[in-house]
Amino acid sequence: MLTSGECSEGAGVLEIQQDGYGFLRAENCQQGPNDVYISIAQIRRFNLRMGDYVEGKTRPQREGDRYSAMLYITSVNGLAETGEIINIDGAGNRVAETIFGHKKVYFVIGKNKLAEDYDKALWRARNIAGPKNAQRLNRKTPCAAKADRCYNCSSPDRICKVLSVFWGAPMGADCEVVLIKEDLGY
């Protein structure tokens, strides 16, 4: 969808509704046909506030949709050649973003995150991505000190508290894996 040109540009001033989700109001801050839906998860993840001006890509509207929705693009900590997608996170907000609130999720994954099978992808997430991310975030954990492996610590600063494994796309969601022939992230 991104490369085929099916996506549009969406922009506007964010109006957050009482239930926590929001809309980008494109027409002079008034409700209109070019408004873009913003999920609660996106508002939390990007720390958006009422009145923020936001721009981004939108997916095409589907039959029955009242508004366009922002796409969610993310990466992973490990991808098994057998198909499992693995992510770990400290608060769970990043992994929750991939599961809830979006009808279209793109996983953009570098070749360095591929592993032969589930066990090796999980090992990679815990022993490569976890320690390097803990070090990048200046966490006070044994793995951050050397960024060499997971020490399975009980530190309150531990970033590998939440684990998600995709065995397939969640019901009601459309997920697409985009493999890049270069190393991306940890």
Question: Quick one: three-class SS letters along 124-158?
Answer: HHHHHHHHHHHHHCCCCCHHHHHCCCCCCCCCCCC
Task: Out of 46, 70, 94, pick the residue that ends a domain.
Answer: 70
62 lies in a domain? yes
185 lies in a domain? no
- Could you tell me the pTM of the whole model? 0.64
- What is the per-residue pLDDT for 59? 66
Segments forming the whole domain that contains residue 156 = 73-180
167 and 119 inside one domain: yes
174 and 86 inside one domain: yes
113 lies in a domain? yes
Digitized pLDDT (tens) for each residue of the chain, 186 residues in all: 444 456 667 778 888 988 888 888 877 677 877 788 888 878 887 778 888 888 777 766 666 666 555 667 788 999 999 999 999 988 777 777 777 766 678 888 999 999 999 999 999 999 999 999 888 888 899 988 888 899 988 888 888 888 999 998 777 778 889 898 989 888
59 and 106 inside one domain: no
- What is the per-residue pLDDT for 118? 97
80 and 123 inside one domain: yes
- What is the per-residue pLDDT for 1? 43
C-alpha dist (Å) from residue 147 to 101, 114, 141? 33, 19, 10
Per the structure, the count of domains in the chain is: 2
Structure tokens at 42: 């996106």
